[in-house]
Amino acid sequence: MISAIEISKTYHNSRTAALKNTNIVIDEGSINVIMGKSGSGKSTLLNILSGLIEPSTGTVYMMNKDYYRLSEKEKAQFRGKYFGYVFQSFQLIYELTVYDNIIMPLHITNQKVNEQAVYQLLKDLEIYHYMRSFPSELSGGQQQRVAIARAMIHNPKVIFADEPTGNLDSENSLRVIELLTRLCKKNQTTLLVVTHDKQLIKNPDHLFILKDGKLV
């Protein structure tokens, strides 16, 4: 699905590389965890693999395309079609209901809403009864499940999640991750999760550990 060859990243205002000559392959439909201490390069690696920041050196093939050779417009279209993103802060729109938050990406891109697909996602994430509620009426764990539904509404090939449980207590964290991984397996969606929590995902297909910008 994604393969990165000898990628490295040095930020403009930095003397040391945040990521050093890294090779990584992400298999289609696999559950992947990236771990490491704060500052080890997890977000940098995820952001490169998810098409958000260009590496300083190296090549990233996404579904056989040399992604960073595409134009800005082509990259944006590619991400919109194939990728879904989940963040530590849920980034919901608090003026909209749960339902309207979830269908937002379809609205923006002028796509038809398949009501049944929305209901199925709501059920899979156990938030069906909250579809007419507003995010502020939900717990953090429930809000993150809404954000996951929104990230999956267009049937992406890959979900990228950077510390998706960073704002949740341990009970809600496990629930969110359990539902997220179950849904990805069911839909054969590839999943990449960055976390520093060893306990979070019990049996990923691949566990990548970063130390000082290098995969160990």
Q: How do strand 57-62 and strand 65-66 relate by DSSP bridges?
A: antiparallel
Q: Give yes or no for a contact between 35 and 83, defined as CB atoms under 8 angstroms apart.
A: no
Find the binding residues for ligand ADP in span 45-104 (CB under 6 A): none
Q: Is 11 in the site for ligand ADP (CB under 6 A)?
A: yes
Candidates 30, 32, 43, 190; binder of ligand ADP (CB under 6 A) is: 43
Q: Is 203 in the site for ligand ADP (CB under 6 A)?
A: no
Q: Which is nearer to ligand ADP, 8 or 101 (CB)?
A: 8
Distance CA 148, CA 142 (A): 10
Q: Is 42 in the site for ligand ADP (CB under 6 A)?
A: yes
Candidates 1, 7, 18, 174; binder of ligand ADP (CB under 6 A) is: 18
How many residues of this chain interact with ligand ADP, rule: CB under 6 A?
Answer: 13
Q: Is 189 in the site for ligand ADP (CB under 6 A)?
A: no
In 3D space, the residue among 11, 18, 23, 14 whose CA is nearest the CA of residue 41 turns out to be 18
Candidates 8, 30, 32, 44; binder of ligand ADP (CB under 6 A) is: 44
Q: Which two tokens stand for residue 97?
A: 């209901």
Phi, psi values for residue 20, rounded to 5°: -120, 120
Candidates 28, 39, 91, 188; binder of ligand ADP (CB under 6 A) is: 39
Write down the least CB distance from residue 9 to ligand ADP, Å: 8
Q: Which is nearer to ligand ADP, 41 or 156 (CB)?
A: 41
Phi, psi values for residue 50, rounded to 5°: -95, 10
The torsion region of residue 143 among left (phi > 0), alpha (psi -120 to 50) and beta comes to: alpha
At residue 208, the 3 state secondary structure works out as strand
Task: Name the site residues for ligand ADP (rule: CB under 6 A).
Answer: 11, 13-14, 18, 36, 38-44, 163
